[in-house]
Amino acid sequence: MSALPRVTRRRAVTAAVVLVLLAAATIWAVLPERAAWTAQDLRITVRSGPGDDQPVDLDARFLLPRERSGKVPAVLLAHGFGATLDSVRPDAESLAARGYAVLTWTARGFGRSTGEIHLDSPDYEVKDAQRLLDWLAERPEVRIDAAGDPRVGVVGGSYGGALALLLAGQDQRVDAIVPSITWNDLGAAFLPQSAGTAATGVFKKSWAGAFFGSGAGGDDPACGRFAADVCRAYLSMATTGVPDAATLALLRRSSPATVLDKIKAPALLIQGAVDTLFPLSEADANARGIAATGTPVRVAWFTGGHDGGAGPGNDQDRVKFLTVQWLDHYVKGEGSAPGDDFTWSRVAGFSALDRDLVTNGYSTGAYPGLTGTGSATVSLSGAAQPIANPPNGNPAAISSLPGLGGRLSSLLSGNLATDVPGQHATFGSAPLTGAIDVAGAPTLRLRAASPTGQAVLFVKLYDVDQNGAPTLSAGLVAPVRLTGLPTEIGQAQPVTVTLPAIVRQIEAGHTLRVVVATSDQAFLSPAAPATYTVAVDEQLTLPTLVGTAIASPAAIYWYALGALILVIALGLAVLLLVRRARRRRRVTAVDPALADTPLVVSGLRKAYGDGFVAVEEIGFTVERGQVVGLLGPNGAGKTTTLRVLMGLTTPTAGEIRVFGHRLVPGAQILSRVGALVEGPGFLPHLSGYDNLRAYWRATGRPWADARFDEALEIAGLGASVHRRTKNYSHGMRQRLAIAQAMLGLPELLVLDEPTDGLDPPQIAEMRRVLQRYATDGRAVLVSSHLLAEVEQTCTHAVVVNKGRIVASGPVEEIVGESPSVAIEVTDVPAATEILSGLGVRGVTPDGATGLIVDMNGTPRAELVASLVRAGVGVDRVVPRRRLEDAFLALVGDNSRGSGDR
């Protein structure tokens, strides 16, 4: 492509600027206007406890819309367990931008707030929130309904969601609530029971441990910042798996189930379908309890929860829209009543562009509960099967990753489920003839027999595709504690098992698999080993739900954003063309005089924006057949020079030519250069051989050009190349990195500290590797601080100090003439006597056969001739001065740099 004319370039730049301005205009046109807000960080002291006499300091933040007319309604915004007010900051700012006064705070026992953790106790955390309502009522900016009664909604998730419910049940000043992913009965949540009549369920040990770990710290190493009764309850349950009466009373005290009949504030209940901590059944119980009193209730399910789920895409937009709609009507007094229609969503796929889950939303006229608006029955087959309970639940099956949360858990949940052979029974269906849209809690009938009369079982429902790959929806499992069991399966009475509610489309051609297991790593199993017998009745019932598809409230913005991205991409393309044209104009044709010279560096300078000059001025040449050592103290500019050479950074001035081509980032001539500059990096689970193959494939060059066997032979890796690199020593990784640089046998090899971390034998072998490589017209440039190795390895050296070259040329010329020599002889005593009579300054033994002779001006040839005439054999004569001596003489004591870049 020829360079663009100046006028064309000017027009192109103008067009790009216009496109950017259009993009900015598009942003203002399609995105909702956000009002500015002010924020004030506070320390609010409140008094709570059974007698309202215990002070606690709460870390708080108060936000107000900057532009407001008169007083504004308020929102009390609570955070999740183990978090602080900073975790809800984006939501607080968003609500403030919509015209609300927002008060957030860190709950007692967390962050910078004082006090102990009481698990949303009515006497502590709930009273703390009541005192915050008092505080809001005194603020002149906040609208009030009556003296001491602020106009306020309460929003929170998980721990904060339960607080919203408990506060609304305890204080009638609350005007609306939006609790999400929270619990109904804390005892049932941590001791779930899916069937039978046992007094207590199965202890959810992993989630309980994650909760307890979130309150670690403080002065008590055993209890952390938990109140003594909460700590005692956890330690007891975690040890035995069975709660005592005091523990059950404590969990009940912190349960919204106790106040649902007192809640008069309209409630929007949002619950996640990807939640092994508080599944959909918790919101279902809250909805039924609040609706029984006539209070307006709306339920929404989304593809998220404590185990991760959909990211900040369309599903979250729907949840945020519903929240704002609810608050605007019931707190701000704007907009029509939201109604009680039920909305839900399910995963529809995965977006490679957004790296996120794609969800489809649906709605129907009223909340159907967990039984759906219809049902489908699927026949299961499988005889009664014996299964073993392992001692102490080990080894255990895996269903989910409690406490991990986030994107990793959501992507893995259901796909990592494993069952231990001998510890589970399997019952399967035939392939489905049509798709089933499941939305609710499936049910089946289970029979069990046990020699002890008791059993703890875990029932799971897998969706198995045509390739036999099973998926456990959201990692959900139904724990069942059964008592009063017979010893023979023929005498067992069936019990109905209600599986956790799921939202999933099971496709035609898939099969369903019910697994009954004896262990699960998320729960506490009986310690004593036993063998049970289990069977299921033929029929599995699946609740179904049909609704109307709904668009994301923010869909229009996504379309506009797509258009915006297209406009910006066009502008960037124009700028790229201009830049490429300018670069091509700067790059001159190949210099014929240098076409056969591997490397020529001329007037190189590199300065950074902060004023630091890494390279002042450097110039040198590397010819074919040479091994050139780049030497210098730390901060001299060696690594910066190599980075410029490999196109990793651009120089401030000067140029580099490789085989006559002017070097720029991405230049094709770099294909003739192999390098190790930034240090080796390999995939540990692959062998050295596979790592090298993967690297070469990534270059896009033909496999035949790799010269694989030749590179491996030169590097000397041997059979070790077939071992996994995670088992390599540092020296082996370094040699593998050298082999990678040698792939294709590039004509110029550039290495930064190739002997770093190697032991002496490995250094000696590396010396031979580099010398072997610099044959057949190839060349090597090596940076090193091991001067003795450079002296023995390199043919030439370039000495750099403070960004400038202080010496360059053949190594022997840099070392120069030496005032002393090292001589190896056959007869040390005789040689000592002869040399001492020649007028030398000193003769010093050096090992068994060597002497160091300070010649004092005596010619080296005369020394050797005298020894030979006297019959003393001379094996070797070398100058005593080393490269290290020359190096120190060149850079002196004032050689310390400020760190290379």
Q: Which of 149-158, 213-222, 732-741, 880-889 has the highest mean pLDDT?
A: 149-158
Residue that wins the pLDDT comparison between 378 and 613: 378
The pLDDT of residue 127 is above 70: yes
Q: How far apart are CA 586 and CA 591, in angstroms?
A: 14
Q: Which tokens go with 155? A: 């929003």
Residue that wins the pLDDT comparison between 102 and 770: 102
Task: Decide if domain 374-549 falls under CATH 2.60.120.260.
Answer: yes
Other C-beta atoms closer than 10 Å to the C-beta of 163 total 26
414 near 473, Cβ under 8 Å?
Answer: yes
Classify 822 as helix, strand or coil: strand
33 near 557, Cβ under 8 Å?
Answer: no
The pLDDT of residue 716 is above 60: yes
User: Contacts from 616-619 at CB under 8 Å and sequence distance 24+?
Assistant: 616/802, 616/803, 616/804, 617/654, 617/803, 617/804, 617/805, 618/654, 618/800, 618/803, 618/804, 618/805, 619/654, 619/805
- Give the model's confidence band at 198: pLDDT under 50 very low, under 70 low, under 90 confident, else very high: low
DSSP code string of 588-647: PPP-GGGTT-SEEEEEEEEE-TTS-EEEEEEEEEE-TT-EEEEE--TTSSHHHHHHHHTT
Q: Do domains 37-187+255-364 and 817-880 have the same CATH topology?
A: no
Q: Give me the CATH topology for the region 592-814.
A: Rossmann fold (3.40.50)
Q: How far apart are CA 295 and CA 152, in angstroms?
A: 17
pLDDT (0 to 100) of residue 837: 81
| Domain spanning 37-187+255-364, CATH class | alpha beta
Model confidence pLDDT, tens digit, residues 437-478: 999 999 999 999 999 999 999 999 999 999 888 989 888 999
HEC per residue, 483-501: CCCCCCHHHCCCEEEECCC
Q: Which of 162, 141, 132, 125 is nearest to 42 (CA)?
A: 132
Question: Which burial class, exposed, middle or buried, applies to 830 when counting CB atoms under 10 A from its CB (0-12, 13-18, 19+)?
Answer: middle
304 near 80, Cβ under 8 Å?
Answer: no
Domain boundaries in the chain?
1-30+558-586, 37-187+255-364, 201-248, 374-549, 592-814, 817-880
Q: For residue 37, what are the β-bridge partners?
A: 65
Model confidence pLDDT, tens digit, residues 487-537: 999 999 999 999 999 999 999 999 999 999 999 989 998 989 999 999 999
Core vs surface per residue 374-405: b (16+ CB within 10 A) or e: ebbebebebeebebbbbeebeebbbbbbbbbb
Model confidence pLDDT, tens digit, residues 327-358: 999 999 998 888 888 988 887 654 434 444 55
Model confidence pLDDT, tens digit, residues 363-378: 898 899 999 999 999 9
- Give the model's confidence band at 568: pLDDT under 50 very low, under 70 low, under 90 confident, else very high: low
Average pLDDT value for the chain:
82
Lowest mean pLDDT among 65-74, 628-637, 737-746: 628-637
Rg (CA), the chain: 38
615's CB contacts (< 8 A; 6+ apart) are 604, 605, 606, 637, 640, 641, 644, 651, 803
Q: How open is the CA angle 328-358-95, to the nearest 5 degrees?
A: 20
What's the helix, strand, coil split of the chain in %, to 5? Answer: 35, 30, 40
Q: Which of 16-20, 445-449, 812-816 has the highest mean pLDDT?
A: 445-449
- Give the model's confidence band at 582: pLDDT under 50 very low, under 70 low, under 90 confident, else very high: low
What pTM value is reported for the model? 0.61
The pLDDT of residue 398 is above 80: yes
The pLDDT of residue 392 is above 80: yes
Q: Distance between alpha carbon 900 and the CA centroid of its chain, in Å? A: 30
Model confidence pLDDT, tens digit, residues 630-639: 887 777 788 8
Pick the CATH number of 817-880 from 3.20.20.140, 3.30.70.980, 3.90.700.10, 3.40.50.1700: 3.30.70.980
Classify 567 as helix, strand or coil: helix
pLDDT (0 to 100) of residue 155: 97
601 near 628, Cβ under 8 Å?
Answer: no
**Which helix (H) or strand (E) covers residue 59, if one does?**
strand 54-65
Quick one: what percent of the chain has pLDDT higher than 70?
Answer: 82
Label the pairing between strands 874-879 and 820-825.
antiparallel
- Give the model's confidence band at 821: pLDDT under 50 very low, under 70 low, under 90 confident, else very high: confident
Q: Which of 548, 510, 494 is nearest to 373 (CA)?
A: 548
Model confidence pLDDT, tens digit, residues 146-177: 999 999 999 999 999 999 999 999 999 999 99
Classify 853 as helix, strand or coil: strand
Q: Which tokens go with 142? A: 């906040």
Other C-beta atoms closer than 10 Å to the C-beta of 329 total 17
Q: How far apart are CA 523 and CA 394, in angstroms?
A: 11
Q: For residue 379, what are the β-bridge partners?
A: 539
Once rounded to an integer, what is the mean pLDDT over residues 640-655? 81
> How far is the first Cα of the chain from the last one, in angstroms, to the nearest whole number?
35
